[in-house]
C-alpha cells in the first residue's frame, strides 16, 4: 500500500436530516463540494468529468461513482494507471459509506459523504478553484517568472506551463499575467 497523504476534512459531515445528499469534497484548490447525480459520475482530468481532478497521476477517465437507488453508492476504477484507493486500500470496485477518503493515484485526495448542502455555496456560483499544480504556476507568475523559469522550477516543459496558464485564464476569466498576479495576492496565494 502506498503512503497516501491525508487532508483533514474541512466540510462538516452531516447526515441527520432528510436533505443530505451524496457529495464529493475536493480539498485541493481551496476546496469545493460537488453534488453527485443519480447514475454515473466520472472522476478524472477529462473536461466532461463531473468531478474534475486535474492533478499529476490522475487519468483522464480515472474512476466513476455510481449513485443508485436509496443510499447505494459505488466507486469503480476505470483501469487507471495509478489506481483508486478507498480509505487506504486499492480497489477496483467499492461500496462507499459516509465519510470515506478516496485517492486517485498517490496524490489526489477526495472525501465522499452524505452532506446537507444548506448553507454551502452553490457549485455553479462558487468561485473557480485551482489544482495544486495550477497554484504553483500562479505563484511563479506572481513571482515575475517567465514560463521557461516556471517550468524549470516545477520540472515541467514551458509548453506545459503555457497549457496550464491557458486553462487558468479561461477558468478565472483573467486576461493578463498582471491580473493573475493580483488575483493570487488578493486570495493569499502569495505575499
Q: What is the pLDDT of residues 23-42, one digit of tens each?
A: 888 877 667 788 888 899 99
Q: Could you tell me if residue 156 is inside a domain?
A: yes
Residue 97 sits in the same domain as residue 144? no
Residue 168 sits in the same domain as residue 94? no
Residue 33 sits in the same domain as residue 109? yes
Residue 97 sits in the same domain as residue 138? no
Q: Could you tell me if residue 157 is inside a domain?
A: yes
End residue of a domain, out of 116, 145, 178 = 116
Residue 94 sits in the same domain as residue 137? no
Mean pLDDT over all residues of the chain? 82
Q: Could you tell me if residue 9 is inside a domain?
A: no
SS (H, E, C) 26-86: ECHHHCEEEECCCEEEEEECCCCCCEECCCCCCCCCCEEEEECCCCCEEEEECCCCCCEEE
The domain total for the chain is 2
Q: What is the pLDDT of residues 92-146, one digit of tens each?
A: 999 998 889 999 987 889 999 887 766 444 454 445 667 788 889 999 999 999 9
Q: What is the pLDDT of residues 41-70, one digit of tens each?
A: 999 988 888 898 888 889 999 999 999 887
Structural domain harbouring 156: 132-186
End residue of a domain, out of 116, 145, 174 = 116
- DSSP at 128: P
Q: Could you tell me if residue 13 is inside a domain?
A: no
Check pLDDT > 60 for residue 4: no
Amino acid at each position: 500500500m502506498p503512503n497516501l497523504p491525508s487532508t483533514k476534512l474541512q466540510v462538516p459531515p452531516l447526515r441527520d436530516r432528510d436533505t443530505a445528499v451524496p457529495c464529493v469534497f475536493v480539498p485541493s484548490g481551496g476546496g469545493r463540494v460537488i453534488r453527485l447525480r443519480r447514475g454515473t459520475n466520472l472522476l478524472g482530468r477529462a473536461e466532461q468529468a463531473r468531478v474534475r481532478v486535474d492533478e499529476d497521476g490522475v487519468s483522464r477517465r480515472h474512476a466513476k461513482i455510481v449513485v443508485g437507488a436509496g443510499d447505494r453508492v459505488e466507486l469503480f476504477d476505470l483501469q487507471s494507471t495509478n489506481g483508486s484507493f478507498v480509505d487506504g486500500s486499492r480497489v477496483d470496485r467499492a461500496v462507499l459509506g459516509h465519510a470515506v477518503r478516496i485517492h486517485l493515484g498517490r496524490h489526489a485526495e477526495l472525501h465522499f459523504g452524505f452532506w446537507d448542502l444548506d448553507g454551502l455555496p452553490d457549485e455553479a456560483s462558487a468561485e473557480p478553484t485551482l489544482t495544486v499544480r495550477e497554484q504553483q504556476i500562479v505563484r511563479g507568475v506572481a513571482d515575475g517568472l517567465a514560463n521557461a523559469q516556471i517550468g524549470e522550477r516545477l520540472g515541467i516543459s514551458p509548453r506545459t506551463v503555457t497549457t496550464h496558464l491557458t486553462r487558468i485564464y479561461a477558468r478565472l476569466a483573467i486576461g493578463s499575467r498582471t491580473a493573475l498576479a493580483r488575483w493570487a495576492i488578493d486570495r493569499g496565494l502569495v505575499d
